[in-house]
Structure 1
Amino acid sequence: MFSPPNSIEHKLDSPQMPCADYTFHFASWKRCNDPDTYAVLNWFIMAGLHHFYLGKTQRGVINLCVMLVGLVFLPFLPIVGVIILVGIVIVELPQLFKSQQIVHAYNNNVMRELIHKVKSDNA
């Protein structure tokens, strides 16, 4: 019975691992992201959830904190709160329209890293 490897570092000479191509395709299938999921998360523009999806945790946390600051200001200083929230939308809106390109570039980088990893493991 053939079973998939647990990691890229799985030995190529193992009976479970037929070839380096399988290692690459299995790993890329697990690590590549779906552009549609990114676009759906991007609809929550101010929360920055799409940044977490691509592993940009720091940017996601910053986006989330700025949004919370804007929401806190809304009841007390509405103009400041609205300016902060509109600023987030202005910065993040282009990413909504470029979601396919952003995820495509991310997936290309992931695959490029995996190719180098598989080649170095195979050498």
Structure 2
Amino acid sequence: MARPAKTQQPDYGAHLASLRHAASLSQQQVADLVGVRQATVAAWERSATPPRGEFLVPLSETLAVSLEVLLQADKRKSARHRGPASKLENLVAQATQLPRRRQQRIASLLEALIAEEAKAS
């Protein structure tokens, strides 16, 4: 049985934990399916921010939700402090409506472009 939390979960961590519970998965099961340690999943659930980009697609597939739903708690929080969505945010929102295979392809392309830009900087 898990220990009770000493502090309140941040918005994103609570959102991720609720998605995991809705999928009827334990932290260990999510960890095995995503390819990380259980402690990593526990840390994500205590975090105020989403996991690194490389884990978002596998995590969304494991939890059987779109990337938009996976990132929803974070978007609601940031939407209170900003203006309209950027062009990139709109493109990501459109990509989340595509089948998973196409989402994975787009994520791979983005990762390659970001790595290329990081090298150029």
TM-score (norm 2): 0.28
Bigger Cα Rg: 1
TM-score (norm 1): 0.28
Normalized per residue, which structure has more helix? 1
Q: Which has the higher contact order (CA 8 A, sep 6+)?
A: 1
